[in-house]
Amino acid sequence: MKQNTVLKYLALVFLTVLLIPAVSTIDYSAVEPVTQTLNRNEIAAFTPKSILFDESHCDGGSSLWAPGNASMFSWMLGENGYSSSTNFNESLDSGILADYDILVIFFPYDALTAGEISAVTTFVDNGGGLLLVGADGTNLWQFRGTNLNPIASTYGITFQTDALYDTVTTFGSHNITYGVTILNAQGDDLRSCSLSVSTPAISVVDTPSGSIVAVSESGLGRVVCVGGPGPFYMYRRNAGSAGSSHFQFSLNVIDWLAENPTRTANVPEEAIITVGPGPLLSPAEVENYGMFTGAIHEHTTMSDGGGTTAEMVDKGLRLGYEFFVMTDHSRNTAGSGGGVTAALLMQDIVNANNLDLPMIVGAEISAIKHTIGFPLTENVYTADQQEAVDGIHAQGAIAILSHPTIGSDYAQVYEDRDLYGYDGVEVNNDGFFFGGGEDGFFDNFIGAADTHTAISEGIRNAIFVENPSGPNGRVSEMDVVDAILNKKIVIIDPFNNMLYGQQVWVDRYIEIRDQAESAIEASQTLIQSLKDAGEDVRLSEFYLDEAMNSLDKLNPGRALKMVQNATSEAVLGIDISITTPTILDPLTEYESSIVLKNNHTYGLEINSTMFIHGGVTFNPKDYKLEIPGETTSAIIRDFTTNDYGLMVYSLNLY
């Protein structure tokens, strides 16, 4: 009897996977479809208040920069006892303000009506809190704070049209500056304007160029004006040393508006941002979905990336990707390079070496406002936005608008994305996440890796698939497409330490992660006890190492599958040792040995394949070995080094 045991590419060898369904304990039938940030803790001497973010006056791409209730700002407020919602299209004089305690408006692109201005000032006089946030007068997006002046001037504050780049490190005494040690006026593309302040308002934060934070009171209510949006979204990615102070400042502003006491902001290590509850599924239905983690939107040296096709395959294996969407740039004419070429070559490498890395062929159409399309079979050459989307769809692929915050020239395409027929948008590209999180309530979304290197780790996406249609329990390209089009996806952002997606899938990700952590701990105990008893379990240790690596690389689903393999009867019955020289001379012959001990009563058939991408030649590339039951056999692999370079190769056993 022969039994196939699949051993793939971990350490020197990584391993293929068994799909292990996890057990859910969450009843999603009780979840109501609301768009509110949950109160996550109870705070002593604190009065909960409700916040309304207004995006009904957004246009020209301003919603990409105006935080709402799917932002790091609203998440932090939720962790500190507040609830929040976003107003997308109702007039502020419609009576909507009656349900809220605090109103937040970022640099309205469209002016408020006279009726709305009256409604807002009445709201403040009756005890409401009002936060108004402007922007500099020079940004290319054409966002300005001046549309706030019909309201702000009522309270002695006027937004100017200048641009401030200051970093403030000296503060006076006020509740709003409690615990704040640094405040940056710059927020990526947007900076702060200065504020003109007159009675009854007072300036709270000053720079050499003028005030950037001012407060006022009117009737029973309070008003805060801030010259720029940076402190409300520059928390982690590229925030430098200001991140924790920006969190504290943001909380202070809302606490003062709510007349709550000062306190230190509670900012958990992991941000969890949800965009609705997702489908109403029972626990049994949820556990039918397997989780697969991979990367979407990457580049090779065939366009502007820093890794060759082989190096990018190695990256996918090293990080434990369970799917990899490669999208090199393609231009507007044939022969301009890039496009699907690299992805097709990577697919050939994977297939030739039987690697456990489902490759999906895509391209980033780049003679237009960048748009990724996948799965593709050929390049789309055009400089016309509509032709690009149509050309992608003609191949049965989906079109995703890339990095819409990269420049103001993307604003028109972003606003008209539905008219063009886009299937989704990158709400997070390489960790740049400002105010566009609310798109996930309405649009399909992904997180884009876009690292352009074979070294850096970037954004991942976990997708949830009920019945994987790829070979050997893997996902197919259409499984990935289906997950995106049905929002069965969670963005994993290591730069902001953030999870983003619908509640049901975020909870599923966390649940599987908890299970993987527990399973690894139990596996470590079991394997150590077997070693203490004198058993040889090095293959199990390889699997366990790969499980821990997968968990460390933000792929708990694969970690759970690896640890299940580590403690399976099949793997525990095989011992392995690998010997290979580590110091090599050029143009010299060497050998590696793989010794396998089969403790099973049945025979095994093992094939070894060398995936080579630097400095060495193996001959032959493939070698098959039969190992009878209860015997030990060795595979000797001869190789020759090249005349220079680093030797890089990987061994598959399957």
- Which domain CATH number covers 256? 3.40.50.880
Average of pLDDT values for 345-350? 95
Average of pLDDT values for 524-541? 95
Given a cut of 50, is residue 519 above it in pLDDT?
yes
Is 563 among the domain residues? Answer: no
List strand residue ranges (DSSP E) for 57-176, in order.
83-87, 102-106, 129-133, 157-159, 167-168
What's the CATH number where 438 sits? Answer: 3.20.20.140
Q: What is the pLDDT confidence band of residue 188, given thresholds at 50, 70 and 90?
A: very high
Given a cut of 50, is residue 15 above it in pLDDT?
no
Q: Give the Å distances, CA to CA, from 431 to 192, 408, 419, 422.
A: 22, 19, 27, 22
497 lies in the same domain as 611: no
Q: What is the pLDDT confidence band of residue 32, given thresholds at 50, 70 and 90?
A: very low
Higher model confidence: residue 301 or residue 620? 301
Given a cut of 70, is residue 21 above it in pLDDT?
no
Contact predicate 423/485, CB 8 Å: yes
Is 551 among the domain residues? Answer: no
Is 559 among the domain residues? Answer: no
197 lies in the same domain as 280: no
Average of pLDDT values for 528-535? 95
Is 254 among the domain residues? Answer: yes
Q: What is the pLDDT confidence band of residue 19, given thresholds at 50, 70 and 90?
A: very low
222 lies in the same domain as 332: no
244 lies in the same domain as 295: no
Q: Which of 212-216, 350-354, 442-446 has the lowest mean pLDDT?
A: 350-354
Q: How many CB atoms lie within 10 A of CB 387?
A: 16
What domain count does the chain have? 3
Q: Which of 27-31, 219-223, 512-516, 617-621 has the lowest mean pLDDT?
A: 27-31
> Which of 272, 296, 326 is at the close of a domain?
272
Mean pLDDT (the chain, rounded): 91
> Which of 223, 239, 272 is at the close of a domain?
272
CA 108 to chain centre: 28
Residue 28: per-residue pLDDT: 32
Higher model confidence: residue 501 or residue 10? 501
Is 544 among the domain residues? Answer: no
Q: Which of 243-257, 350-364, 384-398, 634-648 has the lowest mean pLDDT?
A: 634-648
Instruction: Sort residue 440 into left (φ over 0), alpha (ψ -120 to 50) or beta.
Output: alpha
112 lies in the same domain as 167: yes
What's the CATH number where 594 sits? Answer: 2.60.40.10
397 lies in the same domain as 495: yes
Question: Buried (b) or exposed (e) across 571-597, using 16+ Cβ within 10 A?
Answer: bbbbbbebebeeeeeeeeeeebebebb
Is 438 among the domain residues? Answer: yes
Residue 416's domain comprises 275-504
Average of pLDDT values for 302-317? 94
Given a cut of 90, is residue 43 above it in pLDDT?
no
185 lies in the same domain as 111: yes
322 lies in the same domain as 431: yes
Is 142 among the domain residues? Answer: yes
pLDDT, tens digit, for every residue of 357-404? Answer: 999 999 999 999 999 999 999 999 999 999 999 999 999 999 999 999
245 lies in the same domain as 348: no
Report the percentage of the chain scoring pLDDT > 70. Answer: 91
Q: Which of 36-45, 268-277, 639-648 has the lowest mean pLDDT?
A: 36-45
Q: Which of 357-366, 368-377, 421-430, 637-646 has the lowest mean pLDDT?
A: 637-646
Place of tokens 């070698």: 623
Given a cut of 80, is residue 33 above it in pLDDT?
no
Residue 2: per-residue pLDDT: 31
Average of pLDDT values for 20-38? 32
Residue 336: per-residue pLDDT: 64
Residue 25: per-residue pLDDT: 32
Q: Give the Å distances, CA to CA, from 506 to 27, 436, 498, 503.
A: 14, 18, 11, 5
Structure tokens at 471: 């070979």
Average of pLDDT values for 246-252? 99
Residue 452's Cβ-count burial label (10 Å; 0-12, 13-18, 19+) is middle
228 lies in the same domain as 287: no
Average of pLDDT values for 506-520? 98
| Closest to 509 (Cα-Cα) out of 278, 325, 304, 338 | 278
Report the percentage of the chain scoring pLDDT > 90. Answer: 81
Given a cut of 70, is residue 518 above it in pLDDT?
yes
User: Omega before 21 cis (within 30°)?
Assistant: no
Largest CA distance in the chain: 91
pLDDT, tens digit, for every residue of 571-624? Answer: 999 999 989 888 888 889 988 888 999 999 999 888 877 776 567 888 777 778
Residue 654: per-residue pLDDT: 62
**CB under 8 Å to 387, separation ≥6 — which residues?**
none
Residue 582: per-residue pLDDT: 80
Contact predicate 583/616, CB 8 Å: no
Is 353 among the domain residues? Answer: yes
60 lies in the same domain as 165: yes
Residue 171: per-residue pLDDT: 95
Residue 3: per-residue pLDDT: 34
The model scores a pTM over 0.95:
no
Given a cut of 50, is residue 42 above it in pLDDT?
no
591 lies in the same domain as 648: yes
Distance CA 519, CA 384 (A): 52
| Closest to 398 (Cα-Cα) out of 437, 363, 347 | 363
DSSP code for 89: S
Total count of residues recorded for the chain? 654
> Which of 504, 538, 554 is at the close of a domain?
504
Residue 648: per-residue pLDDT: 65
- DSSP code string of 535-589: ---HHHHHHHHHHHHHHHTT-HHHHHHHHHHHTSHHHHTEEEEEE--SS--TT-E
Q: Which of 130-134, 508-512, 566-570 has the lowest mean pLDDT?
A: 566-570
Given a cut of 60, is residue 34 above it in pLDDT?
no
